[in-house]
Structure 1
């Protein structure tokens, strides 16, 4: 009797995992189709179209670029140099030193000849205390704020309070921008007559690229397998996931590495939340919520063409910390706004986006890990369990490797950031192996993030930077 019950439970469990994966694959297939349609529509346009008309001050909106920096001395000078060379008429750069314990502050002061200034700041959002404000003697649009350590969100709020312009951009301290990135990411805002209140660009991986003095000279691939798999993962997340969701205003994430926001809307929403490690997603969710509650037609969009190049972890221990932290941040954002889930008051955001992020993004790793365990156990038990295991494994290959391979092809078809055929071939071949080793690793790390939530673990965890610019 007990054996029969056990067999029934095993069959039901295998069936549940199979049905779940079929539903997820179906959803991703729809997202892939939407992304294909959107890219086809966009790239029918003349991609050599000049942006000269947007360089006119009459059309463009001035931007305050906020660069939160905590122990970023390895790449901060080069990142600021990259920003000083962008192709945009009116902007300011606000570097916020968040209590760094390295030489970030002194290097900025020395390199850019900064002097301390006195300035009254309008406090729209509460923040930690400011120790000093500096301005470059030679570059009047470059500011440096030294403050007590309060985390990335608090540093962004300090920049928000200090900023002079109607749009703000959050940019990581280890990032390098392409020269026309701001013209491209601001284009939907300018064309929409301010109906678009936030716009995010693509993030690509700088490891392996040739970067000198803050400028991208040559796109390349790292030799580290972990980095190559992250490149594929980023392509999948941005080119497949975000394009499809953005098309119907369902986007819940604008990457903290590169995103532009209307300052007035961010201030009205209360600024960046300092009690979460996923402040970028939490802000976007709060903005969607504010839009719906005010009953206005505003949009948050993703633009694939403007690219920001950033450094990613090359060591397993740092990548593991990053993925655990990301999953905790995902939960904090979803839980803080849990009343949106399946709530028709919030339209497609409540009925599609939130259920998707709960069921697929947050709980997905638990079900996937269960599937891996089921496959391993079935090898010893055999029988009908083995049949379910084969189906689950094939679905895993479809869900993991096949969609990643499609993302690589999307990259080659649309943006073509990787100039060599050997790059695409290498990415394609690596994507075929994702299900066998990389995805199980990230699934396990995300499940560790869920365990950290259960036990109440806090903090970011140290992230080692070596810098990507020569």
Structure 2
């Protein structure tokens, strides 16, 4: 009882002193990334030893696969996707469906797709369909139409400018040899990583922040997002349960609804295939990056808070998925950025310069240490392109600054969504669709 009393008195002292409160909240918000990093490391380590200790044996499993490509204004960039799908080594049947949203105004994209189809040689294991949508309905609309028209047992969703390795389908399909797997995320790499420092930092972020996180979360069956740019689903399960809902961040929305089945059906899984690799271009300028992340981070707030807050409960998700969703999703993307940004701005006006500069330097080296640790882990245990990835080592000193910059962007995005509901202006769907989104 004495310990509880002392702790209670300590809390009262902190709450009565704004400076102490600031230091405590800021310290917790920053240091909480350390245990999460350890968790990701342990998940990656588990996946690595599981991989090297098991006998490499592929199931003779070759179901029909439908690749649904959602395109809008990509133009000639859709050739990245079409050509790499045509070069797949998969022995089973591959059906490719490319949906051109707003084909009446996207003549270039439609013309490129039709020209490719005319030169395409179908056979008993490869087929291609071009589906023009004359009036734009948005990304979710294209995904649903493509899914409904597909005839494969496994449906792989791809964006119109996403290229893939030639063994992508072979590796992805193997995950579905387990009948309990209903969804699978893949590895997204940055195709234009060598363009400039901005694309290089995003490339490292994709390696350490997205790819490794999914490996770690997959180890406890808690994948937080099956990307709309690259993900696969078992059609028989999806037909009976759910589809993509209109609006922004429809991939995150779908993943949360898939996870809602896990409490009642504990055998179901959403997995990650780290050797199923796709490549995408990322923003090349600071302004393009800000616009992209404003949409991403605002959408996260919209999905977690506006649309699914009442469903983020253990009785719907189960305790494990609930904890991971709240911690890795809601806290890290919607709460922590605001705490850190507010604390940094507050410190400038409250503390003298000789106090805050050492703190900022300490925070910088803290984040640098996390990035170096994850980078070494990635190179040793994850990377399938070690020489290429190792060449990005010199980007690491920039990553702490990049991370803090993104937290400022995330804070602006969350506040914008909170006050003016910016998801209604999403570029992922036309205005008439966004206005109907709830």
TM-score range with shorter-chain normalisation?
0.7 to 0.9
Q: Would you say the 8 A contact 1:96–1:144 is kept in 2?
A: yes
What is the aligned counterpart of 1:460 among 426, 434, 437?
426
Aligned-pair distance for 1:143?
Answer: 0.4
Normalized per residue, which structure has more helix? 2
Q: For 1:446, what is the secondary structure of its paired residue?
A: helix
Aligned-pair distance for 1:365?
Answer: 1.1
Alignment partner, residue 78 of structure 1: 80
Partner Cα separation in structure 2 for residue 144 and residue 327 of structure 1: 33
Alignment partner, residue 375 of structure 2: 408
Q: Map 1:41-120; keep pairs closer than 5 Å.
A: 41-44=50-53, 54=60, 59-88=61-90, 89-100=92-103, 101-102=105-106, 103-113=108-118
Alignment partner, residue 117 of structure 1: none
Q: Would you say the 8 A contact 1:238–1:304 is kept in 2?
A: no
Q: Map 1:280-295; keep pairs closer than 5 Å.
A: 280-292=251-263, 294-295=264-265
Aligned-pair distance for 1:344?
Answer: 4.4
Alignment partner, residue 451 of structure 1: 415
Alignment partner, residue 204 of structure 1: 189
Q: For 1:414, what is the secondary structure of its paired residue?
A: helix
Q: For 1:15, what is the secondary structure of its paired residue?
A: helix
TM-score using structure 1 length: 0.79
Alignment partner, residue 212 of structure 1: none
Q: Would you say the 8 A contact 1:79–1:176 is kept in 2?
A: yes
Alignment partner, residue 23 of structure 1: 32
Partner Cα separation in structure 2 for residue 279 and residue 241 of structure 1: 20
Partner Cα separation in structure 2 for residue 404 and residue 307 of structure 1: 22
Is 1:231 paired with 2:200? no
Alignment partner, residue 214 of structure 1: none
What is the aligned counterpart of 1:321 among 266, 272, 291?
291
Alpha carbons of structure 1 residues 417 and 378: separation in structure 2 relative to 1, 3 Å: farther
4+ residue stretches of structure 1 with deviation over 6 A? 4-7
Q: Would you say the 8 A contact 2:25–2:339 is kept in 1?
A: no
Aligned-pair distance for 1:451?
Answer: 2.3
Alpha carbons of structure 1 residues 368 and 332: separation in structure 2 relative to 1, 3 Å: same
Is 1:142 paired with 2:128? yes
Tell me, which stretches of 5 or more residues in structure 2 are unaligned? 1-12, 429-438
Q: Would you say the 8 A contact 1:342–1:354 is kept in 2?
A: no
**Over aligned residues, Cα RMSD in angstroms?**
2.7
What is the aligned counterpart of 2:393 among 413, 428, 433?
428
Alignment partner, residue 434 of structure 2: none
Alignment partner, residue 5 of structure 2: none
Q: For 1:200, what is the secondary structure of its paired residue?
A: strand
Alignment partner, residue 210 of structure 1: none
TM-score using structure 2 length: 0.85
